[in-house]
Structures are given as structure tokens and as C-alpha cells.
Amino acid sequence: MAAVLVRTYAVFVQMPAMLVQKNAKNMQKWAWIIAVNVQKLVVTVLRLVKKWLLRYKGQQ
């Protein structure tokens, strides 16, 4: 009886642990996606700032 209870308890402990691990992997993927998107935005903003500065200097 005790062995069955221990096995049942182990299954209930293992399931949340697996879900936490899966969520951590998903969060890591999201962090990389966000980092890549931010990097693309920074490149775009820098390009636009350069273009704006060239136009601004040309008007003076």
C-alpha cells in the first residue's frame, strides 16, 4: 500500500516539474524572438536617424 502511495505521489510531483521545464523552454524561445525583433528595430531606427540627419544637414 505504501509503495503505491509513493508511486502515485511521485507521478503527481513529476507532472508539475515537467510543465515547469516546458514553460521555461517556451519562455527562453520567446526571449530570443523578442531579442531578435528588438535588434531589427534598432537597426531600422539607426538607419532612419542617419537618413533624417543627412536631410537635416542638407537643409541648413
Domain boundaries, position 22: 1-60
Query: What's the pLDDT score for residue 20?
Result: 82
Checking if the pLDDT of 43 tops 70, the result is yes
Give the confidence band of 32 by pLDDT, cuts at 50, 70, 90. very high
Per-residue pLDDT, 2: 66
Tally the domains of the chain.
1
Residue 1, pLDDT score: 66
Residue 60, classed as helix, strand or coil, is coil
Q: State the average pLDDT over residues 39-44.
A: 97
pTM of the predicted protein model: 0.58
